[in-house]
Amino acid sequence: MFDQSNYECRVEWGKRGAREAAERGDITIIVDVLSFSSTVVSAVYHNALIYPYPPNLDGKAYAKNISAEYILGRNEAAVLGKATLSPISFNEKHATKKFVLSSLNGAFCTWIASKVPALLIGSLLNASSVATYVNQIKTASNANITVIPCGEVWNDARENEDVLRPSIEDYLGAGAILAELEGTKSPEAEICIGAFLHSKHKIKEFIWECGSGRELRFKDFEDDVKHCSQLNSYNVVPVLQDGCFQDALKIEKG
């Protein structure tokens, strides 16, 4: 198979990439900037407990089983004043509370790759923090690393068309992380890094104007786009343990 196996740091897209990373046993970083990853990072920063769950299964039943709140869609939850897939909906009042979070992309990729040695969430918000932490565990475990930009799903795909829509915000988020990872990098990873470095000075503008950004703005979630396009705002590293994302840096401190 022609892949990136000769290199320590790789980049793979979407669910297929998540499956291949899991089969290889790589340290895996899920990147879904708008908005799963940014929401998990923001929620964990506020000490919420996030349980990812794929949208094709009964998340409400799962939430009830673990005594957690099932996160509703942005619009529905906003009316009720609850936490949502919107990252700015989380604050200090959500500390220590359990939430089940489903999404078509990030949560699904997380579910597929959940058995890897270490599964982490990366975004622009915590790119440096997650890269620094992964460098440490890579040294200790000697495992390779795969960064997964999740992309979006075409909602009007026709028969025999791919449903994955590669999205620049996830590619740039992956590049921001890869740029600080140690180890040999595949050509795919090097090109991803190059895209980030070339775009770094205009990253907020690019995400504001990209397809995913315009989609959220059209739905009146301009503040989400602004929040998610901030680079290295949080020193937090969500890691999956026992089905739940918690901050690896706080776990280390005990």
DSSP 3-state assignment of 113?
A: coil
pLDDT of 40 strictly over 70: yes
The domain total for the chain is 1
Position 74 scores a pLDDT of 75
Domain of 14, in residue numbers: 9-253
150 belongs to a structural domain: yes
pLDDT of 76 strictly over 80: no
Q: Where does the pLDDT of residue 245 fall: very low under 50, low under 70, confident under 90, or very high at 90 and above?
A: very high
Least confidently predicted of 64-78, 150-164, 211-225, 226-240: 64-78
Contact predicate 51/101, CB 8 Å: yes
* pLDDT, average across residues 90-109: 95
* pLDDT, average across residues 70-78: 76
pLDDT of 2 strictly over 70: no
Query: Whole-angstrom Cα distance, residue 45 to residue 158?
Result: 40
CATH number at residue 190: 3.90.1560.10
Query: Whole-angstrom Cα distance, residue 43 to residue 48?
Result: 5
Q: State the CB neighbour count (10 A cutoff) for residue 235.
A: 14
* pLDDT, average across residues 64-72: 94
Residue scoring higher pLDDT (157 or 53): 53
91 belongs to a structural domain: yes
56 belongs to a structural domain: yes
Residue type, 240: L
4 belongs to a structural domain: no
Position 72 scores a pLDDT of 74
Residue type, 11: V
Peptide bond into 42 cis (omega under 30): no
Q: Where does the pLDDT of residue 9 fall: very low under 50, low under 70, confident under 90, or very high at 90 and above?
A: very high
239 belongs to a structural domain: yes
For the chain, what percent of residues have pLDDT higher than 90?
88
3 belongs to a structural domain: no
pLDDT of 202 strictly over 60: yes
pLDDT of 224 strictly over 70: yes
Identify the H or E element spanning 147.
Answer: strand 145-149
70 belongs to a structural domain: yes
For the chain, what percent of residues have pLDDT higher than 70?
97
2 belongs to a structural domain: no
Position 26 scores a pLDDT of 97
Quote the mean pLDDT of the chain.
94
Q: State the CB neighbour count (10 A cutoff) for residue 251.
A: 11
Q: State the CB neighbour count (10 A cutoff) for residue 135.
A: 16
Q: Where does the pLDDT of residue 106 fall: very low under 50, low under 70, confident under 90, or very high at 90 and above?
A: very high
pLDDT of 81 strictly over 80: no
pLDDT of 183 strictly over 70: yes
CA torsion 15→21→24→25, rounded to 10°? -120
Position 60 scores a pLDDT of 95
Residue scoring higher pLDDT (129 or 160): 129
End-to-end CA gap in the chain: 43
Q: Answer left, alpha or beta for residue 97, where phi above 0 means left and psi between -120 and 50 means alpha.
A: beta
User: Scanning the structure block, which residue is given the tokens 């280390």?
Assistant: 252
pLDDT in tens, 162-181: 899 999 999 999 999 999 99
Position 253 scores a pLDDT of 78
